[in-house]
Amino acid sequence: MSTLEIKDLHVTVDTEDGAKEILKGVTLTIKDGETHAIMGPNGSGKSTLAYSIAGHPKYTVTGGTVTLDGEDVLAMSVDERARAGLFLAMQYPVEVPGVSVANFLRTAKTAIDGEAPKLRTWVKDVNGALERLDLDSTFSQRSVNEGFSGGEKKRHEIAQLELLNPKVAVLDETDSGLDIDALKIVSEGVNRFRGQEGKGVLLITHYTRILRYITPDYVHVFVNGRIAEQGGPELAEQLEAEGYDKYVKAAV
């Protein structure tokens, strides 16, 4: 089972002028096996939603609930959230100089499983994941995200997704900065993940392009810290044709 339930979520961020409300009541349920796309203009609060689910300390939840299979996610530390089965691929992955991809992946896997992975199968799993994402074997010796191209960062995020195999994946603009070949490779990785039994995906994107490769079950239009409209995949096509304008105007 894997149901992520977000109810009336309100979140503020600390700015120089004090706390500013960014999320203004977000309600969204991702059930077993569902892929939901969140689409919205820049600055609408999409990344804030992703960070709030993941437990980033900069964001303060002032109201509402987030549960995973009935467990209170907001009461969990960042580590506990990961162990509970939540995964966040960040819009801007951070550099970790001096830590190799191989070490990083192994440390993350050990932290989530509570024990180190068996060396022989693990090396095979890592090499397989890198290969499927068209990353060569020397990639695992590079420092995490240091000097990575945009495409390498995103493919590395999807390698993590494959290896850590969470219940629910929140993918924040996994398509940004990708050329068409990398977009296909990354999309195939996401499709492999969600092809497994009972996995949930929250796919955050600004552009409809990635939705040609990853067909969502539901599309939500996100404007000004709220969901303004919901529908099926056809809603993405409508957005492609009409843009966010009418929703932005209605939200003011």
Residues that bind Mg ion (CB under 5 A): 42, 46-47, 91
| # residues contacting ligand ADP (CB under 6 A) | 12
Is residue 9 part of the contact set for ligand ADP (CB under 6 A)?
no
Is residue 52 part of the contact set for ligand ADP (CB under 6 A)?
no
Q: 93 touches which of Mg ion, ligand ADP, none (CB within 5 to 8 A by kind)? A: none
Answer for the pair 102, 141: CB distance below 8 angstroms, yes or no.
Answer: yes
Q: How many angstroms separate the CA atoms of 156 and 135, rounded?
A: 8
Is residue 55 part of the contact set for ligand ADP (CB under 6 A)?
no
Is residue 22 part of the contact set for ligand ADP (CB under 6 A)?
yes
Stretch that binds ligand ADP, among 46-54, 121-129, 134-142, 175-183 (CB under 6 A): 46-54
Is residue 15 part of the contact set for ligand ADP (CB under 6 A)?
yes
Stretch that binds ligand ADP, among 3-11, 43-51, 60-68, 120-128 (CB under 6 A): 43-51
Identity of the residue, 47 or 224, whose beta carbon is nearer to Mg ion in the bound complex: 47
Minimal distance in Å, beta carbon 89 to ligand ADP? 13
Minimal distance in Å, beta carbon 206 to ligand ADP? 7
Residue 137, burial from CB neighbour count under 10 angstroms (0-12, 13-18, 19+): exposed
Minimal distance in Å, beta carbon 44 to ligand ADP? 4
Minimal distance in Å, beta carbon 209 to ligand ADP? 17
Is residue 42 part of the contact set for ligand ADP (CB under 6 A)?
yes
What are the residues binding ligand ADP (CB under 6 A)? 13, 15, 22, 40, 42-48, 58
